[in-house]
Amino acid sequence: PASGLVTFGRNTDPGEINIDQETHIRDERSSYTLKNSPVKQVLKIEGNLEGEAHTFEQGVDYALSGNRIDWLPESRRPDAGSTFYVDYVTFEQITVPAGTRVSTYAVRTEQSKVFVTTEEGVLKRTPQGRWEAIIPVMADSPGRAGNVLAGSLVVMPQPLVGVEYVVNRGDILTGVDAENDEELRDRAKHALEVAGKATFSSLESAVKGVEGVTSVLIEDMPGGVLGVVRIIVQGGDPENIERVINDTRAAGIRVEFTRPRIVNLDIDLTVDLNKGVNPTAIQRHVEAEVRSYLSSLDISDDIIYNRVVNCVFGVEGVYDIIELTINAYREGAEESVTSTRQNIEIRADEIALVRDVGVLVRPFEERGR
Do residues 181 and 20 touch, judged by C-beta distance below 8 A?
no
Q: Predicted confidence band at 269 (pLDDT cuts at 50, 70, 90)?
A: very high
Report the distance separating Cα 177 and Cα 99, nearest Å: 24
Q: Is 281 helix (H, G, I), strand (E, B) or coil?
A: helix
Structure confidence at residue 252 (pLDDT): 62
Position 369 pLDDT exceeds 70: no
Number of Cβ within a 10 Å radius of residue 110: 5
The whole-model pTM stands at 0.47
Domain residue spans in the chain? Answer: 3-11+94-167, 16-91, 181-258, 261-362
pLDDT tens-digit readout, 95-150:
999 999 999 988 777 888 999 999 999 999 888 889 999 999 999 988 888 899 98
In angstroms, the CA 194 to CA 204 distance is 9
pLDDT tens digits, 77-102: 999 999 999 999 999 999 999 999 99
Is the pLDDT score of 184 beyond 70? no
* Structure confidence at residue 49 as a pLDDT band (50, 70, 90): very high
- How far is 212 from 106, CA to CA, in rounded Å? 24
Please state, in angstroms and rounded to a whole number, the distance separating the CA atoms of residues 295 and 172: 12
Closest to 116 (Cα-Cα) out of 132, 103, 107: 103
Segment 196-250, tens digit of pLDDT: 344 567 788 888 888 888 899 988 777 766 667 788 999 989 999 999 888 887 6
Using DSSP bridges, classify how beta strands 254-258 and 228-235 pair: parallel, antiparallel or unpaired. parallel
| Cβ 2 vs Cβ 139: under 8 Å | yes
Section 183-204 average pLDDT: 56
Q: Residue 280's CB: how many other CB atoms inside 10 A? A: 9
CA–CA separation, 353 vs 109, rounded Å? 26
228 touches 256 (CB < 8 A): yes
Please give the backbone phi and psi of residue 181, each rounded to the nearest 5 degrees, phi first: -60, -40
What pLDDT sits at residue 194? 44
What's the pLDDT score for residue 63? 97
